[in-house]
Structure 1
Amino acid sequence: MSSDTPARPTLLYSLYCGASALIAPFAWRKVAAKLRNYGLPEKRVRERLGHASLPRPSGRLIWFHAASVGESLSVLTLIKRMGEQAPEAEFLITSGTPTSAELIAKRMPPRCRHQFPPLDTAAAVDRFLAHWRPDLGVFVESELWPQMLVRARKGGCPLVLLNARLSDRSVEGWKKRPETARYILDQFDLLVTQNQKTAANLQAMGAAAGRIRPGSNLKAASAPLPVDPDSLGKVRGNIGARPVWVASSTHEGEEEIVLQAHKLLLKQHPDLCLLLAPRHPERGSTVETLVKDAGLSCARRSKGVMPGTATQVYLADTLGEVGTWYALCPLVFLGGSLREIGGHNPFEPMQAGAAVITGTGHYNFAETYAELTAAGAAAEVRSAADLADQVAQWLEQPETFQAARDAAGQFISRQSDQLDKTVDALLALLPARRP
């Protein structure tokens, strides 16, 4: 089939639509229970069925759909910039997790609102689209729901896949279903990728080459995380002149390695304080036990305890304060990388002026880390001993550490131009206001 010929619905897509209708009651029960357990009101829970809890604003509406916290927050700077370029435009963000909704609400750009996305069933999607009538739909990273895409496009809404990222496993899976892959990708008017590798993969999966535009990682151009000056001042005052390092976004199986590294560091730097911020704050009690089992003194932020002059580990098990910790200390180990977890966004600490240490399990950011380590903006470690050596080097060699921070800052500064190009490309797809 010629790549110029519009792709048609496939048997697999039809089977998916049928299966989604069958499992919809079970899926609804599961997602509704999760939202209710979080304490959300019923009208917000019912957004997953396509029932809007807010009115549609007048004017042209640009809809962004993202999977979770990182993807949702990554578009806020882009929305702000688009809003400045198109002052009459309104914005809608959909994301599936209560945590993302909570954080978005705190940082919402002007003329923006949040809803939970409809389940990917015909009834829920049609109800959602009938109410919101988006003029442009932007899907972030790899959150592709087939019926949501097909039905939005059929309704006349131009679609963009933004910050596209696909794992090798996902690419191989789609290549086994080439006609369906092409049909889904054919719904997009524009596909903006994080890197050249993803651009090549999308084309190999059947996306039209003329619709693919390689870009950079959207998260690299996001605004810095918020900083609470009061909290920063209090914690800094309590720690005093002691040296500090930060271990952020750590997961199960990583804290033990970090704590082992800290014990090694304390032999040469007995007054060193570790600020440990687990990725999931609800694991605070578990992590506190790990700290005590390691024989280290601990102050736990969620209990309102401040670090003292002898506190060896300050356990920052709270949500939304990471920007404050990066402002406190620019020497950051970023978790999700000492195990094969995929890594986390290195741009957030770098935007705060930090240099980054990572493990080797950062496959979601492999190309980014390759560039950062080559530039000297990041360092890679494999073990507790490696981690301790790298932290010690940056503590003991301030010129080397400053050079790493400078390299990180230069990388971030190069992303602003790319963001402006993305804004222009999206606004070019925004149609004239519908009657």
Structure 2
Amino acid sequence: MALSLGRTLYNLTGPRTSGIASARPVRPPGDLIWLHAAELGCARGLRQLALRLVEELGVTVLLTCPEPVPLTADMVHQLPPIDTPAEARAFLAYWAPAMAIIAEGEVRPALMFEAAERHLPVIMVDARAPYLMKGREGWYPRLMRQSLQTVQQVLAVDEAAARAFRRAGAPEVAVSGRMEEPSAALSYHEPERAMLAALMATRPVWLAVDVPAAEEAAVIAAHRSALRLAHRLLLIVVLQDPARAADLAAAMEAAEGWTVAQRGLDQEPDAETEVYIADSAVEYGLWYRLAPVSYLGGSLLGDGCARNPMEPAALGSAIIYGPRPGGYGSVFGRLGAAQAARAVGSAGDLGDALSDLLAPDRAARLAQAAWTLASDGVEVTDRVVDFARRVLDGES
């Protein structure tokens, strides 16, 4: 059958050679499902899906991504093949996947047409907008529409994304929202939490994590301001540089007259303690669990937030953050859109936000919205896993 003009032009403008085939890892025996991510950020979004496919269906997962990604057992990484008919045939013949799952919306026409020839089910997840793979953009009449018509299902993140796929020609589009992400809930030692909670009794508590030296004064000022409203308030602070604990404790005792306890000295926060300096990064889960409010250090005056905001969200701690999100801009954007975190623009704003969130109902509303966001997407992942199960059972 004659190829369309767009498909012919696309094939003619593709690269002639590729060395990818020689670099293919050994294919494990058994069923294999192919996941594709156009970039590392997309690959992170596929990680929880990959884990569930391995654990629940007993398959091997092949993940193609232009960048190296962390893998677990029964996961294989390969660079994506160059999108030409010959490479597509060689790739699919070698890996023989049971189905393909593409993240976000990258369109690889040669692979998609070859998959259709082999009756290989293809779905798109976390779909935002369809686009031709980077480096292959151009004028190819009807190519996008024809490529998307090979896709069995597009699971769009929202209605705007769904409209974009429908306009581009995808026949089966559903608004599902995002898939679940790997749980950010950190572990903690429950007997230790219970002991510390008993020591703190009903005192209000807030947490400042990963605080750089440049932000110590802002955290102190915020605590000083909030103490005027809640004189029993306890600050738990985790410093970016634990070696500063002794100097900071001495400075607060001298300048503020506060009673400071240091966990590194095996001291405990008693009823008179106003500041508790924690020195172990492995106990973040414990501190998030104890503190109804958490400020994420580095986001105000530092080099950017270094902790995943979903960590406190997953453990029910309301989040305060500054204008420097670090590598978590998109996460903070989602939290902000859901009214699930409090943004501050200056050191003075930190004190105001903290004082406002000392009201338990306000902190609880923020924390509940953040927890809902952190727990979101399980139903979407369930849907994809169920589709894969039906494919393996010969039902789709």
User: Could you say whether these structures have the same fold, taking a TM-score greater than 0.5 normalized by the shorter chain as the test?
Assistant: yes
Task: Compare 357-366 and 187-196 and name the one that shifted more.
Answer: 357-366
Conserved in 2, the CA contact under 8 Å of 1:142 and 1:166?
yes
Asked if 1:372 is matched to 2:346, the reply is no
Partner SS, residue 187 of structure 2: coil
Conserved in 2, the CA contact under 8 Å of 1:326 and 1:352?
yes
Per-residue Cα deviation, 1:256-310 (whole angstroms, up to 9, x for no partner): 886564243243459523346xxxxxxxxxx649x96xx8579xxxxxx964557
In the TM superposition, 1:318-357 aligns within 5 A as: 326-327=288-289, 329=291, 331-333=293-295, 349-357=312-320
- Specify the alignment match of 1:273 in structure 2: 236
Determine which of 366, 369, 390 is the counterpart of 1:404.
Answer: 366
Determine which of 8, 13, 34 is the counterpart of 1:63.
Answer: 34
Conserved in 2, the CA contact under 8 Å of 1:119 and 1:125?
no
- Specify the alignment match of 2:253 in structure 1: none
Asked if 1:134 is matched to 2:97, the reply is yes
- Between the aligned partners of 1:311 and 1:51, the Cα distance in structure 2 is 51
- Between the aligned partners of 1:322 and 1:98, the Cα distance in structure 2 is 28
Task: Compare 130-139 and 410-419 and name the one that shifted more.
Answer: 410-419
- Between the aligned partners of 2:220 and 2:130, the Cα distance in structure 1 is 36
Residue ranges of structure 2 left out of the alignment (5+ in a row): 228-232, 251-261, 268-274
Determine which of 227, 232, 240 is the counterpart of 2:187.
Answer: 227
- Between the aligned partners of 2:22 and 2:321, the Cα distance in structure 1 is 37
Aligned-pair distance for 1:324? 6.1
TM-score by length of 1: 0.59
- Between the aligned partners of 1:152 and 1:346, the Cα distance in structure 2 is 39
- Between the aligned partners of 2:138 and 2:183, the Cα distance in structure 1 is 36
Determine which of 25, 29, 33 is the counterpart of 1:51.
Answer: 25
Aligned-pair distance for 1:80? 6.9
Question: May I ask how many residue pairs the two structures share in their alignment?
Answer: 353
- Between the aligned partners of 2:36 and 2:123, the Cα distance in structure 1 is 10
- Specify the alignment match of 2:53 in structure 1: 79
TM-score by length of 2: 0.64
Conserved in 2, the CA contact under 8 Å of 1:350 and 1:412?
yes
Aligned-pair distance for 1:429? 5.2
In the TM superposition, 1:202-213 aligns within 5 A as: 202-204=165-167, 206-208=168-170, 210-213=171-174
- Between the aligned partners of 2:215 and 2:362, the Cα distance in structure 1 is 22
Determine which of 219, 222, 242 is the counterpart of 1:262.
Answer: 219
- Between the aligned partners of 2:195 and 2:141, the Cα distance in structure 1 is 56
Partner SS, residue 353 of structure 1: coil
Q: Alpha carbons of 1:184 and 1:379: their partners in 2 closer, same or farther (altered >3 Å)? A: farther
- Specify the alignment match of 1:39 in structure 2: none
Aligned-pair distance for 1:136? 0.9
Q: Alpha carbons of 1:355 and 1:237: their partners in 2 closer, same or farther (altered >3 Å)? A: closer
- Specify the alignment match of 1:94 in structure 2: 63
Aligned-pair distance for 1:71? 1.6
Over aligned residue pairs, what C-alpha RMSD do you find? 5.3
Partner SS, residue 100 of structure 1: coil
- Between the aligned partners of 1:347 and 1:157, the Cα distance in structure 2 is 36
Q: Structure 1 counterpart of 2:101, which letter?
A: V
- Between the aligned partners of 1:391 and 1:397, the Cα distance in structure 2 is 9
Q: Alpha carbons of 1:261 and 1:156: their partners in 2 closer, same or farther (altered >3 Å)? A: farther
Per-residue Cα deviation, 1:15-44 (whole angstroms, up to 9, x for no partner): 3444x73xx6xxx8xxxxxxxxxxxxxxxx
- Between the aligned partners of 1:370 and 1:138, the Cα distance in structure 2 is 29
Residue ranges of structure 1 left out of the alignment (5+ in a row): 29-46, 106-112, 277-286, 299-304
| Identity in percent | 20
Determine which of 178, 191, 195 is the counterpart of 1:217.
Answer: 178
Determine which of 13, 16, 20 is the counterpart of 1:15.
Answer: 13
- Between the aligned partners of 1:120 and 1:236, the Cα distance in structure 2 is 55
Q: Structure 2 counterpart of 1:399, which letter?
A: D
- Between the aligned partners of 1:256 and 1:174, the Cα distance in structure 2 is 47
